[in-house]
């Protein structure tokens, strides 16, 4: 069985030492879904707080850049690109976030953080219209680069 990298031999949490790893191009994409009633989805363009989808997109980008401040054992990364796509769909809002860098460690957490914070922002911007909003389906879609190779969710 593969051991967890964020624990030392005594079982104490630690930041992984990546100093011996080569810098490679890393990319990750993640998603989240915000389930919202159809009547509320129709009202989004007239939201008095502003366009919640555009605000969520900007919040996701900002969050990706702050990931190491939010997740205690994440390495701070110089991101070369972050993008957040926020799309209305039947039943809610789909958020797809991507992050890229050339570094010694991957950007999965940055993509996941961007998608999650964008989803939370949609919730915050629309909660006055619907208290039953649900955030679901937060997961990694794909990643590339690094020693562990490429991954694509099936």
Active site residue ranges: 124
Tokens 């619907």 belong to which residue? 130
CA dihedral for 34, 35, 36, 42, sign (positive or negative): positive
Contact between 64 and 113 under an 8 Å Cβ cutoff? The reply is yes
Q: Give the pair of three-digit tokens for residue 146.
A: 């690094």
Residue 142, SS3 per DSSP: strand
Contact between 147 and 108 under an 8 Å Cβ cutoff? The reply is no
**What distance lies between CA 19 and its chain's CA centroid?**
25
Q: Using the 8-state DSSP alphabet, how is residue 67 labeled?
A: H
């Amino acid at each position: 069985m593969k051991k967890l990298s964020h624990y030392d031999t005594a079982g104490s949490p630690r930041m992984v030492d990546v100093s011996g790893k080569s810098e490679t191009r890393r990319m990750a994409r993640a998603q989240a879904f915000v389930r919202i009633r159809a009547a509320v989805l129709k009202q989004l363009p007239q939201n008095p707080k502003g366009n919640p989808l555009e605000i969520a997109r900007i919040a996701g980008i900002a969050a990706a850049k702050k990931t190491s401040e939010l997740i205690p054992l994440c390495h701070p990364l110089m991101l070369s690109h972050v993008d957040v796509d926020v799309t209305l769909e039947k039943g809610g809002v789909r958020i797809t976030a991507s992050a890229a860098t050339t570094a010694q460690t991957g950007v999965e957490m940055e993509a996941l953080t961007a998608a999650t914070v964008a989803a939370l922002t949609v919730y915050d911007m629309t909660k006055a219209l619907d208290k039953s909003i649900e955030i679901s389906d937060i997961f990694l879609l794909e990643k590339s680069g690094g020693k562990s190779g490429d991954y694509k969710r099936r």
